[in-house]
Structure 1
Amino acid sequence: MRGEPSCPRCGGRVRAPGLFSDSWQCAVHGPVQPLQPVLPPSVEALGVVTRRAQVPVWMPWPLPLDWLFTGVTYAGDDRSGGRATVVACSGPAPLGGTGELLLVAEELGVGLGARYAGIDGPDPGPHICGDKPPQAKVLAAGRPTPLWHVTDAPDDRAVFAGEARGLWLWAIVWPERSGMLLYDELVLTDVREAGAEVELLPCGALTPRLLT
C-alpha cells in the first residue's frame, strides 16, 4: 500500500472518526468515504478490494487482446466496506499507441469518478445530457448499459458515465481518441462474481493515473 487514506474528491488528508464525529472528515468536503492507498496490480490485491466491496468491481473480461490489469483501490473503511471501486487496465489503443482505462463504480455522492474524470463532482449528472441518445454502450454483468459523454473533462481523456445496478459507472480513457473502446460494447464483469479464471489475470506495472 502507498500512503494513508485520503479524500476521494480532492486527494487531501482526512481525519479519522473520533469523539466529535463518527465519519471520516475532509477539511474541504466534510464527511467522506476515505480513499484507501492504491494497491499495485496483482490477483491478491484485486481479491482484497473484491472482498471489501459493497459495490461492483468492474473489469473488462476477458481483457482486450494484450491488455493488462494495472491497479485497483477503493473508497470506504472497515466499518462501511468499499462504497466506490476503481480498476485500471492498459494496452494497445485502437488508433495506435497505448490506451488506459479506469472503471469506477460508486454510490451517489462519493466523488471518486469525478476526481479521475477531472471535473467538479461529486456526481456526473450535471455533466451529461441524459435526454439525448447515449454515445456508448457496455455490457455490464450481462445487461446492456448506456453511457453518456461527460462534458467539461480535460481534453487529454474521454469520459463516459451511466448507471449499472443502480450505481454510477464511469469509464475514463486516455488518450481521448481511445474512447473508441467504448463504441464496441465492451463486456464488463463484476469481479465479485467471477470464477477461478481470474487467477489467470495478466498484470502489468502500476499506472500513475491512480495516484493523481
Structure 2
Amino acid sequence: MHTDWRCDNCGEVPPFHVAEHINADIVESMLLRQAGSAEKTPFWCPWPLPTGWMVTGVGWAGDDRTGVRATAIACSGPDPLGGGPADVVLIAEQPGVGLGTRFGGIPGIDPGHLIADALTSANGHPGPHAKIRAGGHPTPLWCVKSPEDRSAYVSEAKGMWLYAVAWPASAGYFLAEHVVLHDLCEGVPSELVYGAPSPYLQGKTSQVGP
C-alpha cells in the first residue's frame, strides 16, 4: 500500500490538477498554492501576448505534502503558418516530475537526453532551434523528437526545466515571434486575455508520467 500516486513504469509521481475554467480569479488561486514557499515553480506566460492569442488553461502538479512541483499554462491563437487554430502549452517543472515529457509525447522523465540527441542530430551546427526571453534572460530552446501531430521544445529557466509543446506541429513557429515569457508568480498583468478552455489542457486530476 502506498499513499503516493504511482506509475507502473516510473514509480512515485505527483498528481496533476487542471482548472475546469480559466479567468483571473482561477489564476490567482493557482498562484496562492505557492504562497510562502521558499522556491516557487514559475507559471510561464507569454507577455505581451502575440496578436490574437489568449490564455486558455492552467494546471499544476503536486500535492499538499510536496507542494507545487510543476506548472502548465495553455495559450491559443492563430497558427503562424497555417492560419488555423493553434495551441501551445508552457510547462515549468522541477527535476523528476515528467509533466513536460507527458505533454510532449516523448519518453523518459527528464529531458537531458533529448537535448543531447538534438545536439547530435545538428550535424555540426549545434545552435538552438529557437530563442526566447524567460524571466528577463535570453533562453535557447531545443526542438526534440515528438509525435507528428505536435512540436516540442525544451530548455531550462530559473533552475527548472522549461517545455513548450505546440499543436499542430507548425504552431512551433509561434516561438520565432520574439516571445517573452513572464512568470505570473511575479505579478499577473491586468490586461491578460482569457479564452475558451484549450482541448489540450482539460480540467481533471490525473497522475503525471509519460
Band the TM-score falls in, shorter-chain normalisation: 0.7 to 0.9
Q: Hey, what's the Cα distance between the residues in 1 that align with 2:156 and 2:18?
A: 26
Kept in 2: contact 1:91–1:100 (CA 8 A)? yes
Secondary structure of 2:16's partner? coil
Matched, 1:176 2:163: no
1:142 paired residue number: 136
Kept in 2: contact 1:39–1:73 (CA 8 A)? no
Residue in structure 2 matching 1:57, options 43, 49, 67: 43
Q: Hey, what's the Cα distance between the residues in 2 that align with 1:185 and 1:122?
A: 29
Aligned in 2, Cα 1:99/1:37: closer, same or farther, shift over 3 Å? closer
Matched, 1:75 2:66: no
Structure 1 position 81, deviation (Å): 1.7
Matched, 1:158 2:151: yes
Kept in 1: contact 2:80–2:174 (CA 8 A)? yes
Kept in 2: contact 1:110–1:122 (CA 8 A)? yes
1:40 paired residue number: 21
Give the TM-score normalised by the residue count of structure 2.
0.84
Paired-residue identity, %: 44
Kept in 1: contact 2:74–2:90 (CA 8 A)? yes
Greater RCO, CA 8 A, separation 6+: 2
Structure 1 position 181, deviation (Å): 1.3
Matched, 1:122 2:106: no
Kept in 2: contact 1:105–1:167 (CA 8 A)? yes
Give the TM-score normalised by the residue count of structure 1.
0.83
- 1:147-194 Cα offsets, whole Å, 9 max, x none, are 10111x011111100100110000011111121111233100000102
Mark the runs of 5 or more structure 1 residues left unpaired by the alignment.
1-19
- 1:82-107 Cα offsets, whole Å, 9 max, x none, are 11000001011212111111000001
Q: Hey, what's the Cα distance between the residues in 1 that align with 2:168 and 2:102?
A: 17
1:187 paired residue number: 180
1:94 paired residue number: 80
Cα RMSD (Å): 1.8
